[in-house]
């Protein structure tokens, strides 16, 4: 099982690496070249923007493969360790990559917009690459982590939240880029804004749940639901930034670029919270990051 899960991880890495190349090429390569040709008025240029040479389809196919391999990784890993992916940074990071890929796949199927993948898929690849550099040693769980149900739900919910946050990040980056690239490459600003917002309508309540479940667990394990532990306060910062976004989006002067900037900032906070174990000690630095 251990071997199998390692193979799956490598397969997922390869699939996502190839998918990244195709996604980036599709948006910033082929479409950009085609759009330039349009501006230059070359013959058939109009057709080139609209008509894919298939790179988009390959991008999606590779992405689905990546998702399948990551899902298998999770199953094999869970069978091998006997619990969910929460005992060390390796498992955390790979599960995070799964969340990003799953959330993005869903959005792509719903919206049929591939451009966001040019940001999100490389981000997922980076996270998975990071996971692969950390020792996957399955170490036994220390007593505080031996509450499987609460912990599994806590981590599962956080993977959903962080996955949707990654998608909103991708949409926001493109939103901010939309005036710096030739017209016709990126989806409509309205679509990008909508994808960013919709992701947060899922991510924000889920993030609230993450914090609440964490508090519940702290209450059961340590007798206090909130202790201003750095991991707790970092997730609070993340949640507050997205809360700010939800209000900003309704305000004149904050709609649009500034709201998108908040989404980018929010994802920065997500990364900080997720990988925070590396920087801060405290109760959450339980299982360590291996060697």
Partner 1 sequence: MIRRVWQLLLSVRTALVLILLLAAATLVGTLVIQAPAVVPLAGPDRDAWLDKVRPRFGVWTDALALIGVFNVFRTWWYEALLGALALSVSACSIHRARTLWRESYRPHLRLAASMFERPTAAAATTTARLETAVASLRRALARRGYRVVAVERDGVTHVYADRHRLARFGTLLSHLSLVLLLVAAGIGTQVRWDDDAFVVPEGSTRDVGLDGLAVRADSFVAEYYPTGEPKDYRSDLVLYRGGAEVGRKTIRVNDPLEYDGVRFYQSFFGPSAQMRVTDASGRRVYDDGVALAWRVDGDRPAGSLSLDGTGLTAYVVAPSTGGQGDVLIRPGEMRVELYRSGSSAPLASGNVTQGGEIELGGLRFAFVRERQFTGLRVARDPTVPLIWTASVLFVLGLSAVFALPYRRLWARLAVADAGARVAALTVGRREGDDEVAEIVREAATAVSKE
| Binding footprint of partner 1 on the chain (CB under 8 A) | 139-140, 142-144, 146-147, 190, 194, 201-202, 204-205, 208-209, 212, 215-216, 219-228, 230, 233-234, 236-237, 240-241, 243-244, 247-251, 254, 276, 280
Partner whose footprint covers residue 121, from partner 1, ligand HEM, none (CB < 5 to 8 Å by kind) = none
Closest separation in Å from C-beta 164 to ligand HEM: 14
**What mask, x for binding ligand HEM by CB under 6 A, covers residues 180 to 219?**
------------------------x---------------
- Contact pick of 40, 250, 253, 291 for ligand HEM (by CB under 6 A): 250
Establish if 243 lies at the interface with ligand HEM (CB under 6 A): yes
Q: What is the DSSP string of the chain?
A: -HHHHHHHHHHHHHHHHHHHHHHHIIIIIIHHHHHHHHHHT-TTHHHHHHS--SHHHHHHHHHHHHHHHHHHHHHHHHHHHSS-S-SSHHHHHHHHHHHHHHHHHHHHHHH---TTHHHHHHHHHHHHHHHHHS----PPPPGGG--HHHHHHHHHHHHHHHHHHHHHHHHHHHHHHTTTS-TTSSPPHHHHHHHHHHHHHHHHHHHHHHHHHHHHHHHHHHS-S----HHHHHHHHHHHHHHHHHHHTTSTTTTTHHHHHHHHHHHHHHHHHHSGGGT--STT--S----
Reading the block at residue 77, the tokens are 């890993």
CA distance 164 to 32: 27
Establish if 133 lies at the interface with ligand HEM (CB under 6 A): no
**What mask, x for binding ligand HEM by CB under 6 A, covers residues 53 to 92?**
----------------------------------------
Closest separation in Å from C-beta 233 to partner 1: 4
Closest separation in Å from C-beta 243 to ligand HEM: 4
Partner whose footprint covers residue 280, from ligand HEM, partner 1, none (CB < 5 to 8 Å by kind) = partner 1
Q: Residues for the chain: how many in total?
A: 291
- Contact pick of 57, 112, 247, 258 for ligand HEM (by CB under 6 A): 247
Interior angle at CA 188, CA 182 and CA 193, nearest 5: 120
Shorter beta-carbon distance to ligand HEM: residue 143 or 253: 253
171 Cβ neighbours under 8 A, 6+ residues apart: 116, 192, 193, 195, 196, 199, 260, 263
Closest separation in Å from C-beta 15 to partner 1: 32
Closest separation in Å from C-beta 202 to partner 1: 7
Closest separation in Å from C-beta 46 to partner 1: 25
Shorter beta-carbon distance to partner 1: residue 71 or 147: 147
Partner whose footprint covers residue 72, from ligand HEM, partner 1, none (CB < 5 to 8 Å by kind) = none
CA 161 and chain centroid, separation: 9
Closest separation in Å from C-beta 211 to partner 1: 9
The binding site for ligand HEM (CB under 6 A) comprises 204, 243, 246-247, 250
């Amino acid at each position: 099982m251990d071997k199998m899960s390692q193979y799956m991880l490598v397969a997922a890495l390869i699939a996502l690496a190839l998918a990244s190349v195709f996604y980036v090429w599709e948006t910033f390569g082929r479409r950009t070249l085609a759009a330039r040709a349009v501006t230059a008025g070359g013959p058939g240029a109009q057709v080139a923007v609209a008509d894919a040479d298939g790179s988009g389809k390959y991008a999606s196919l590779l992405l689905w493969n990546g998702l399948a391999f990551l899902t298998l990784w999770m199953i094999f890993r869970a069978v091998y360790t006997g619990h969910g992916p929460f005992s060390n940074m390796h498992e955390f990071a790979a599960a995070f990559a799964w969340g990003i890929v799953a959330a993005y796949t869903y959005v792509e199927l719903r919206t049929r917009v591939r451009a966001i993948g040019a940001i999100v898929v490389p981000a997922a690849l980076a996270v998975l690459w990071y996971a692969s550099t950390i020792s996957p040693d399955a170490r036994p769980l220390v007593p505080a982590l031996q509450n499987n149900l609460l912990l599994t739900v806590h981590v599962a919910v956080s993977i959903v939240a962080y996955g949707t946050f990654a998608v909103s990040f991708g949409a926001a980056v493109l939103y901010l880029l939309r005036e710096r690239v030739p017209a016709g490459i990126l989806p409509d600003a309205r679509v990008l804004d909508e994808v960013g917002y919709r992701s947060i309508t899922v991510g924000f309540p889920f993030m609230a749940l993450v914090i609440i479940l964490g508090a519940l667990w702290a209450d059961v394990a340590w007798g206090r639901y909130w202790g201003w532990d750095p991991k707790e306060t970092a997730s609070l910062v993340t949640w507050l930034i997205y809360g700010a976004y939800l209000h900003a989006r309704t305000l004149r002067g904050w709609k649009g670029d500034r709201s998108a900037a908040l989404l980018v900032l929010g994802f920065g906070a997500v990364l900080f919270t997720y990988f925070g174990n590396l920087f801060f000690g405290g109760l959450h630095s339980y299982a360590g990051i291996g060697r």
